[in-house]
Structure 1
Amino acid sequence: MRLKYVLNEVLVGLWRNVTMTIAMIITLTVSLTMLGASVLLYLQVDEMKDVHYGRIEVSVFLRDDVTDAQRTSLQAALQRNPLVKSLTYENREQAYARFQRIWSDSPVLVTAVRPGALPESFRVKLKDPETYDKLAAQLKDQSGIGTIVDQRELLSKVFAIFGSVQKLALVIAVTMAVAALLLVANTIQVAAYSKRREVAVMKLVGASNWFVQAPFVLEAMAAGVIGSIVAFAALYAGRSVLFGGPSGALTTVLTPIPEGNMWLMLPLLAAVGAGVSGITAWFTLRFYLRV
């Protein structure tokens, strides 16, 4: 009987202040969406580091006047080096063909570079990408080398940008969460004020604080769960748009979000939405319901 009463009061409370309830759900949805996006981005950047750092190569570009003896000596030194996992030689024709393939969408740039303009090089994959400095130190006195390029430096700049986006998304999520908490507290206060006489009578006849507060707390938790479901739907739709096949907007920048990480967001957002809303409502009522 008590459970039926509490659930009925939850439904009545949600409908009585329907505009406030909708505003609370929308605010919770936005904050939870930003929170979920920041968590997914955080997980994705870490996964991208594992994927891309494993593919990192060191490009050892040779001088235009390199001799056959210098090239052979350098190749032998790299093959003997314990830091090197694999080694690939690329002549000028192969370098130009790869350049044409990479920049096939920019024909003007391709036509501006003449065949033979790109230097020959050795593509070196290290056993541990962090040992680049050691390899560069060992090769600095080797003749025939023009420049040495570490792809890790380029990726580090990209990941630094992603890290900034992570922090920005988290700041926005926290800001929206504060706004959502204030709105939850205000909504619960309005609901409690509209039932102040009924609450007073219940307290006078000996109703416990938990029995009086339960409908309001469950009302806030229900709004949090609804907001989390809508937020998850928005994240899932966003994933489909941004990573949906070759035409996805971010498929060339980020690795696809794993299905497991995506579905992890639903219980996480539901727990955060319901938990935070319920705790906020409980604290609000603790200081507001005085008889």
Structure 2
Amino acid sequence: MRFGFLFGEVFTGLRRNVTMTIAMILTTAVSLTMLGGGLLAVRIADKTENYFLDRVEIRLYLTDDISAADLECSKEPCQSLMSDLKKTGGVVSVQFVNSEEATKEATEVTFKGQPEMLDMIKDTKFPASLRVKTTDADQYQQIFPTFDTRPGVKQVRNDKELVDRLVSIFDGLRNAAFGLALVMALAALMLIANMVQIAAFTRREEVGIMRLVGATRWYTQLPFLLEAVVAAIIGSVLAIFGLLVARPMVIDRALGQLFDSNVFPQVTGDDIAVIALTIAPIGVVFAAITAYATLRYYVRE
């Protein structure tokens, strides 16, 4: 009987303040969607960083004369460079790639399926290089000053710089999404507080009668709290649905080619599920806390 009364009161309250209820549901949905987008950007950034850091190489590009004359790194100074690199702490492996192999990699792997880029590099003579795998991507800080000025070395490059630039893109998206989520969250919290106050005011006579016949304050205020929670649950479901729709219609369309070419790791259903399991409880808990605080400090009857 009591549960029937509670659910009836919740339904009545949501229906009586239908415009404010809809506004609160939509505001909650938008704020949680923004929060989910920010969390998804963080997740993509972390996956991208981990994805590339496992493949990061330090590359020592050799001068043109060595690239042309030494095709197997069997002569000086290439041989000494390789030997010294292998002796350097933290170095896992050193691979020599001659000019012909570098050209083949660029045309058949790196720029495969990109006719404009292939046309641009068709007359390019790629230098030979020593590719160094290390246990730590930050090992570049030790290798660069040691080998940058060595004879035969044209340039020392670190793939980690590219990884950092890629990750910074998602960091910017994350900050923008979190900023919008914060603004929308404040709007949602204020709507929740207003809805609870209006609901309590419109039913003040009913609550007064219930208190006179012995109902506890908690029992009379519980329907108002549940109204906020129900609205937050609906808003959370809409936010999750929004993320599910955004994956094929926005994310895959914008980054699909980069996913296919393994520039970025794929955004999977598991990623969306993790985000959903994060934002839904946040929306419900904050709605409940806001409603409780409103009842505690603004509604005295």
TM-score, normalised relative to structure 2: 0.87
Tell me by how many angstroms 1:217 deviates.
Answer: 0.3
Q: Does 2:254 match 1:254?
A: no
Q: Does 2:294 match 1:284?
A: yes
- Paired residues of 2:99 and 2:127 also in contact (CA < 8 A): yes
| Partner of residue 78, structure 2 | 71
The amino acid across from 1:222 in the alignment is V
**Cα distance in structure 2, aligned partners of 1:156 and 1:136:** 18
Secondary structure of the residue aligned to 1:125 is strand
Of residues 239, 245, 251 in structure 2, which corresponds to 1:237?
245
Secondary structure of the residue aligned to 2:273 is helix
Secondary structure of the residue aligned to 1:60 is strand
Secondary structure of the residue aligned to 2:286 is helix
TM-score, normalised relative to structure 1: 0.90
Identity %: 34
Cα gap change, 1:263 to 1:112, in 2 (>3 Å):
closer
Q: 1:253-277 CA deviation, whole Å, 9 max, x = no partner? A: 5322354443233332221111111
**Cα distance in structure 2, aligned partners of 1:250 and 1:34:** 23
Cα gap change, 1:2 to 1:172, in 2 (>3 Å):
same
Tell me by how many angstroms 1:140 deviates.
Answer: 3.3
Cα gap change, 1:116 to 1:249, in 2 (>3 Å):
closer
- Paired residues of 1:241 and 1:249 also in contact (CA < 8 A): no
RMSD: 2.4
- Paired residues of 2:44 and 2:170 also in contact (CA < 8 A): no
- Paired residues of 1:35 and 1:170 also in contact (CA < 8 A): yes
Q: Which structure 2 residues correspond to residues 17-28 of structure 1 after superposition, within 5 A?
A: 17-28=17-28
Q: 1:118-167 CA deviation, whole Å, 9 max, x = no partner? A: 21111211122111111223313421000000111221122223222222
**Cα distance in structure 1, aligned partners of 2:28 and 2:283:** 7
Secondary structure of the residue aligned to 1:255 is coil
- Paired residues of 1:61 and 1:121 also in contact (CA < 8 A): yes
**Cα distance in structure 2, aligned partners of 1:116 and 1:270:** 54
- Paired residues of 2:148 and 2:156 also in contact (CA < 8 A): no
**Cα distance in structure 1, aligned partners of 2:258 and 2:16:** 43
The amino acid across from 1:51 in the alignment is Y
Per mean C-alpha deviation after superposition, the further-off stretch among 126-135 and 216-225 is: 126-135
- Paired residues of 1:38 and 1:166 also in contact (CA < 8 A): yes
Q: Does 2:205 match 1:197?
A: yes
Cα gap change, 1:16 to 1:116, in 2 (>3 Å):
closer
| Partner of residue 44, structure 1 | 44
| Partner of residue 142, structure 2 | 134
Cα gap change, 1:137 to 1:43, in 2 (>3 Å):
same
The amino acid across from 1:76 in the alignment is S
Where in structure 1 are there 5+ consecutive unaligned residues?
none
Tell me the matched-pair count: 291
The amino acid across from 2:77 in the alignment is Q
Secondary structure of the residue aligned to 1:65 is helix
| Partner of residue 90, structure 2 | 83
Q: 1:100-126 CA deviation, whole Å, 9 max, x = no partner? A: 232345434432334452211112111
Q: 1:3-29 CA deviation, whole Å, 9 max, x = no partner? A: 210111111111222221111111100
